[in-house]
Every structure is written in structure tokens, then in C-alpha cells.
Amino acid sequence: MSTLVAEMAGKALKMCIPLSVQLDLTYRCNERCIHCYLDHHDHGEMTTAEIKDLLDQMADAGVFYLTISGGEILMRRDFFDILKYARALTFCVKLKSNGILIHKKEADRLLSLGVESVQVSIYSYRPEVHDAITKVPGSLARSIEAIRLLRSRGIHVIMANVLMVGNANDYAGVKVLAAELGAQFIMDPTITPMMDGDRSILNLNVDEAALREVFQNEILVGNVEEFCAPPQSLDEDALDSLPCSAGHTACYVSPYGDVYPCVQFPLPSGNVRRTKFADIWRNSPQLNEVRSITLRDMPTCSRCAHGGTCTRCPGLAYLEGNMRGPSYQDCEKSFARTGIPSENLKARKASTQFSPASPLIQIQLAT
């Protein structure tokens, strides 16, 4: 992070400014990815006029980074009208798309409108694996062609690889493909529960051995010894730290105007169809509760050696039942990274020693 960006983030946090917002235009999609957490039916998306009014409100509230996502954003016929309006308001716009609907004309328009980046999910370098995940034959070839078109115009492309059971051995090949295409490579080792709370898709998460292999791969994490170093004792500064930017300098708005702390933190916090965006941001009881939480307020995590280095997501913790509690999925990551069980994992192991194993337990602790 550059010094200027860090200063912006620090001032936004101090002044409670929503520096970054993700706006989903639609949940409709032309793919049916097996791990997707969204309901793809249209339950009454915001109109073009409503979205433009919201963009005006967000600009007035101090939003700078605007991520436009879906669903598939190009499923909306007014997408370019919305994008043009957003750029006229000088948002730094980042897009998320599967690329299937991006052809030469669309790539030219994206270039002319000056988007900061386009993120495209690529699940495997092998068509039979990628297409099985998206459930759309030929989708890998079409997404790759879109990336080529974007890169040939100098547009920054991020290739996002979500790790799951079906593609666990393919991330290295995707990384090579990204390099060949001139795209940035990122990988997400987390499958997110459905926004309605359905956790069945978590069965797609890889096991502990695969997760450990990823977290100890120097090609992905750099200095393995440093990345996998044992956790340090918590100090006072760590205990007063904030869980993440969700609700502090960032939030998420759904296609129906619902506001949440984050796309992975589906705590209903207001709706822009009924209340102005700035009023929700400043006065929502839910957002203010999220802002009140520090590591010190988390009974389990504040006693855990991993507290200062864990990637704990408060949204995942919320979906597991308690936004002030640990996230089991993140505890798994910390264990895979360091080989040292968290307080939460040790407690779960103790509670399951004399009872049938829970289906949520995906790793065995070393004894």
C-alpha cells in the first residue's frame, strides 16, 4: 500500500468516511458456479434512476473506491450508462465480471471510460474443470478471450482463483496462465456460505492437507518461514485493533438497496430506498455496533495467540452465529499456516472427543 493510499485510509477511518463501497448491480448471472453464494433470481433490482441517485449520494458521502459487481454486471442493459455516470463522478471504479459478454466493442468502451481494473474469476487452466464449476460449456475460452481483449488495450486485469475441492491442484497452472496473459493473479482459499445462511456449499472447502500445502507454497506466499512463523503474544495495541475495514471505511450495497458492512458480512443495516445512504452510514445501529468491536471485546480471540495475526473475517464469524466470536474457517487457516491450533480449535477438539464428529470439523489437530 502506497503512503498516499495509507494516509487516505487512516483519515477515512478517523473521520468515519465510507472510502470504499461495493455495489452489486444484479444477482442475475449467465453462469451457475457451484460455489456461488447468491440467489440469481431478480427480486426487484434498483432502477437506473435509483442507482444514479445512490451514486450521487455516495459521492457526497466521500466514497472514492467503487467496486461494481454482481451477478454478471453486463446482464444489465444499462451497465455502460451506469458506469459512465460513475466515472463522471470521478469514482475510482473496479469491476468484477466473468468476461463472457466482453467483446471488442465492450473492451473499447471500458478503455474509454478509464476503469481501474477488471477482475475475472478463472477456476482452472483446464476447460473441463473450469467449465464444470461454472456449468457453462466453453466458458473458460470465452473468459480468456475477454482477458486478452482487455489486456491488449492496456486494462489492468486481475485473475481470481477460488480454491475448492474440484480445482485444488490447478492454482499453479492458473498462475502461469495469468503471467502469460499479463494479468495479476490472486487466490481465495475461502468458500463463503450463502447469503441466506445456507452452509451446504462449505462442503466444497479443501481439506487441511491441501490448505497447508497452499499456505506453505513460497510461489504464493513469498517467505514461507516468515509467513508461517508462530504467532506472537498479544500486546495492548493488538487488543485495541479493529477486526477489518467492514463498517469502518467500507460497506456493501445489494441490487435491492440493502446495506451491509461487507458482501461477506450480511448483517442488514438499512436500505437506500427508504433512507439516505449517508444517514445509514452514520446512524445505523447495526453499523455502529460493528464499529464498537475491537479484538479486546472478543472473548475467545482476545485469549488466542493467533489474535494479532489471524485473518479472521467478522462476516464469517457472524454467519457462524456470533460477530464477536471466532470464525472456524479462519481458525483452520491459522492452523494450516502455523501448525499451532487456536483456542477455538482446541475447545472444539475437547468438545468432540466424546461425541460424534461434527460435519463442520474439517481438520484433525496434532496430538
* Stated length of the chain: 367
Of all residues in the chain, the percent with pLDDT exceeding 70 is 95
CA-angle at 328, arms to 234 and 194, nearest 5°? 135
Residue 353 banded pLDDT, cuts 50, 70, 90? low
Provide φ and ψ at 341, rounded to 5°.
Answer: -70, 145
**Average per-residue pLDDT for the chain:** 90
For the segment 130-185, what is each residue's pLDDT rounded down to a tens digit? 999 999 999 999 999 999 999 999 999 999 999 999 999 999 999 999 999 999 99
What is the arithmetic mean of pLDDT over 81-85?
98
Residue among 313, 315, 302, 297 at smallest CA distance from 342: 302
Which secondary-structure segment (H or E) carries 337? helix 328-338
* Separation of alpha carbons 248 and 81, rounded Å: 30
Residues 51 and 6 sit within 8 Å (Cβ to Cβ)? no
For the segment 36-77, what is each residue's pLDDT rounded down to a tens digit? 999 888 899 999 999 999 999 999 999 999 999 999 999 999
C-alpha cell at 76: 444489465
Strands 92-96 and 65-69: parallel
Residue 347 banded pLDDT, cuts 50, 70, 90? confident
* Separation of alpha carbons 132 and 115, rounded Å: 30
For the segment 270-295, what is each residue's pLDDT rounded down to a tens digit? 999 999 999 999 999 999 999 998 88
Cβ neighbours of 65 (radius 10 Å): 18
- Is pLDDT at 104 greater than 50 in this prediction? yes
C-alpha cell at 7: 494516509
- Is pLDDT at 364 greater than 50 in this prediction? no
Residue 360 banded pLDDT, cuts 50, 70, 90? very low
Residues 16 and 9 sit within 8 Å (Cβ to Cβ)? no
CA atoms within 13 A on the CB side of 99: 25
Contacts with 170 (C-beta within 8 Å, 6 or more apart), sequence order: 123, 124, 125, 126, 129, 161
